[in-house]
Chain A
Amino acid sequence: MIDLNKEIKYVKGVGPNRATLLNKLGIYNLKDLITYFPRNYEDRGKAKSISELVDGEEALICAFPTGRINEIKIRGNLTLYKLIVRDETGSCQITWYNQPYLKNIFKQNIRYKFYGKVSRKYGKFEMQSPVYEQEDLNKNTGKIIPIYPLTYNLSQNVIRKIIENGLNEIEGKLEETLPTYIIDELKLYDYNTAIKQIHFPDNFANFNLARKRLVFEELFSMQISLLTLKNKYETKKSGISFSKDVKLSDVINILPFKLTKAQLRVLEEIEDDMESSKPMNRLLQGDVGSGKTVVALMSAYKAVKSGYQVAIMAPTAILATQHLETFNEILKETGIKCELLISGISKKKKQEILDKLQLGEIDIIIGTHALLEENVVFKKLGLVVTDEQHRFGVRQRATIVEKGNNPDVLVMTATPIPRTLALILYGDLDISIIDELPPNRKKIETYAVTKGMEQRVNNFISKNIEDGRQCYIVCPLVEENEEINAKSVMEIYENYKTNIFPNYRVEYLHGKMKPKEKDSIMEEFKNGNIDILVSTTVIEVGVNVPNSNIMVIENAERFGLAQLHQLRGRVGRRRISIILYFKIPRKF
Chain B
Amino acid sequence: MDVGEYQSYCILKYQGNSEVIRERMKVISSTNDGFIISEKDLELRGSGEFFGTKQHGIPEFKIANLFEDMGILKLAQGLALQIINKDPLLEKKENEILRKIVDEKFKNRIEI
Contact = CB atoms under 8 A, between A and B. Distances in A.
Interface of A: 35, 37, 176-182, 186, 198, 211-212, 214-216, 218-229, 231, 235, 287-288, 389-391, 393-395, 415-421, 424-429, 435, 437, 440, 442-451, 454, 457, 460, 464, 469, 546-547, 549-557, 560-568, 571-572, 574, 582-583
A176 B56 contact: no
**What class of interface size applies to chain B in its complex with A?**
35 or more
B25 A574 contact: no
A440 B2 contact: yes
Q: Which of B57, B66, B112 has the most CB of A within 10 A?
A: B112
A556 to B, nearest CB: 4
A127 B90 CA distance: 58
Contact of B42 (A223, A421, A546): A421
Contacts, number: 259
Interface string B30-50: 001111011111101100011
Contact of A563 (B2, B4, B55, B95): B55
A226 B95 CA distance: 16
A554 B13 CA distance: 5
A287 B34 contact: yes
A565 B8 contact: no
A220 B79 contact: yes
A224 B98 contact: yes
A565 B12 contact: no
B94 A557 contact: no
A549 B9 contact: yes
24 contacts: A179-B94, A179-B97, A211-B63, A215-B63, A219-B61, A219-B64, A223-B81, A225-B101, A226-B112, A228-B84, A229-B110, A287-B34, A393-B57, A394-B112, A415-B56, A416-B37, A424-B74, A443-B32, A449-B12, A449-B14, A551-B8, A554-B13, A563-B53, A571-B10
Contacts of A394: 109-112
B76 A231 contact: no
B42 to A, nearest CB: 6
A215 B110 contact: no
Contact of B15 (A222, A390, A444, A555): A555
Contacts of A426: 112
A425 B56 CA distance: 11
Contact of B21 (A222, A451, A454, A557): A557
Given A219-B73, A224-B98, A450 B15 contact: yes
A261 to B, nearest CB: 16
Given A215-B64, A562-B55, A565-B37, A229 B112 contact: yes
B112 A393 contact: yes
B75 A390 contact: no
Given A393-B109, A572-B6, A218 B63 contact: yes
Contact of B12 (A448, A454, A571): A448
Q: Which of B9, B16, B94, B102 has the most CB of A within 10 A?
A: B9
Given A219-B64, A469-B6, A556 B13 contact: yes
Q: Which 8 A-B pairs have the closest CB atoms?
A: A448-B25, A572-B8, A556-B12, A390-B57, A223-B80, A287-B34, A416-B34, A561-B41
A560 B12 contact: no
Given A220-B80, A288-B34, A565-B28, A442 B13 contact: no
Contact of B59 (A198, A220, A222): A222
Contacts of B38: 415-418, 561-562, 565
Contact of B73 (A212, A424, A437, A460): A424
Contacts of B62: 35, 37, 214, 218
B11 A582 contact: no
A304 to B, nearest CB: 28
A228 B90 contact: yes
Q: Which of B26, B61, B111 has the most CB of A within 10 A?
A: B111
A395 B109 contact: yes
A176 to B, nearest CB: 7
Given A457-B13, A560-B53, A565-B28, A223 B77 contact: yes
A220 B73 CA distance: 7
Q: Which of A221, A457, A566, A572 has the most CB of B within 10 A?
A: A221
Nearest to A418: B39
